[in-house]
Structure 1
């Protein structure tokens, strides 16, 4: 694979690191790895990976802490690995900015499929962002910079969006006053059947609403339409700067 994408695997289990390094390398990816948060920071100082596979349960800073740290200055796609069958870990991972999750033990083939899907959507949305004209959109108290994936409110405060949050917001902005179904949201964010991702959709919508300061009980931006989906009801202005 020319111009191969680089994957950073962060897991304290050496067997998993070696397994994924060998498996992903065979299908054309460039793979770097880290056994903990300290090594991860060193790798990120040297490289700019296209995607991170991040274990939750590790000594020192766990995956939740590391995910939040990455999200402070990067929108790189993150897939979290959890050995806990409890849904809480998965939901929390999505709430703090992860794009997807997988439970251990996992199939390397399924992980590969999810990696490819995330990278495809990332590339697609980057191309879409680059072609967005105008670059800026104003709604409610927010001004969106589509190129930088940031929101600026009327008080001058800036909010950087994760890849999933930005994709969801753009879905609404590109389809104002139209009901967006949960299936459509799931396909946009995960590219998989919606049945197994009901809770994930709720988390993504809740996080976006929270970021926008929109009250689901008295919505001014995103309204829930029972049986139909969600409608972006705020007026949108497309700006040149």
Structure 2
């Protein structure tokens, strides 16, 4: 049974979500503020987080950042703020989905299921045995089983969506992906993400793995089409 951490200070909304998801066979842990959210997160290690932006003791953005420093768990933001800038900001700080209030319980459950399904599928992937490049010769290494990215042997923290994009690059080096193709890899059911979201994720990935993000040597822009990944190699 999947575990959901719900951080929501509106008790009526929290009760509705908790009851509905419980009927959908989820175990739901509810927190009314950021401190409780951190405590329950550490104690129960949830499979997905549903996080309200407006909390009494902290900004949900800051709490999302905190979760991202310790885990790659899928995070869905729920908020009454529907501005594009708010959605893009949520992506940039680590959210994987964004649902505007008011919303239907059915849609919330569908998106939660989509995040968990994609997470489970990714964790089931194993590195290819026929990898033609010895692991020790790569500047960048992806551990698909542990969902880890390593740059020169050092772990790189990524969001769920960033890793999904990087995974597709890694499995298909040199292949040119359109924004729409990459979008389909991270989109939930009727999700808010757009092709602009892909650009945000690419920008974030470049900041994390490129020496000079403005002159990338790994994640290349193919003008008018999309992006491609060039397999990194150490100099002999």
Same fold (TM over 0.5): yes
Question: 1:69 pairs with 58, 66, 70, which one?
Answer: 66
Residue 205 of structure 1: aligned partner? 202
| CA distance in 1: counterparts of 2:83 and 2:137, whole angstroms | 38
Deviation of the 1:217 alpha carbon: 4.5
Residue 146 of structure 2: aligned partner? 148
Residue 42 of structure 1: aligned partner? 39
Question: 1:185 pairs with 177, 182, 187, which one?
Answer: 182
Deviation of the 1:218 alpha carbon: 2.7
Question: 2:220 pairs with 223, 228, 232, which one?
Answer: 223
| CA distance in 1: counterparts of 2:136 and 2:191, whole angstroms | 30
Is 1:58 the counterpart of 2:69? The answer is no
| CA distance in 2: counterparts of 1:19 and 1:193, whole angstroms | 21
Residue 127 of structure 2: aligned partner? 132
Residues 1:138 and 1:17: Cα distance change in structure 2 (over 3 Å): farther
- TM-score normalised by structure 1 residue count: 0.86
Residues 1:167 and 1:82: Cα distance change in structure 2 (over 3 Å): same
Matched residue SS, 1:81: strand
Asked if 2 retains the 8 angstrom alpha-carbon contact of 1:53 and 1:81, the reply is: yes
Is 1:27 the counterpart of 2:28? The answer is no
Deviation of the 1:162 alpha carbon: 2.4
Residue 13 of structure 2: aligned partner? 16
Matched residue SS, 1:97: coil
Deviation of the 1:45 alpha carbon: 3.1
Deviation of the 1:153 alpha carbon: 2.9
Q: Unaligned stretches of 5+ in structure 1?
A: none
Residues 1:59 and 1:183: Cα distance change in structure 2 (over 3 Å): same
Deviation of the 1:185 alpha carbon: 0.9
Aligned length in residues: 231
Asked if 1 retains the 8 angstrom alpha-carbon contact of 2:161 and 2:201, the reply is: yes
Asked if 2 retains the 8 angstrom alpha-carbon contact of 1:82 and 1:90, the reply is: no
Residues 1:198 and 1:133: Cα distance change in structure 2 (over 3 Å): closer
RMSD: 2.4
Which portions of structure 1, spanning 4 or more consecutive aligned residues, are displaced by more than 6 angstroms?
A: none
